[in-house]
Structure 1
């Protein structure tokens, strides 16, 4: 799907939910794996990657960052 978005020149964000299910000691590795896969697959239109937990939004700062970004807020 993302390759199709790239092919037609659209930009997009990647949101990975349930980040609370990734063990704390594996979270940085998970972040790096996503970045590596974006690079390896040659995705061009990725603007942001948000790692969130809908059940525990306060656990991860990406949740508030994503909401601010989507609402145009500068908090």
Structure 2
């Protein structure tokens, strides 16, 4: 008797698992096909073109270039 109950429970659980798998395939078939056929959009690397322009100060225009008489005597 125990063997018969165990076989019925095992067979019922197998049928439940198979029905769950088949049901998932039926519900999500479109999503699985779309995921398998998906081709990612190619990403181009961004190109950065930087142009840095600044005026160069001449030696007479820089504030630190002036020498004071105190510093000239200390040297």
TM above 0.5, yes or no, is no
Task: Give the TM-score of the pair, scaled to structure 1.
Answer: 0.25
Larger radius of gyration: 2
Higher strand proportion, which one? Answer: 1
TM-score, normalised to structure 2, is 0.25
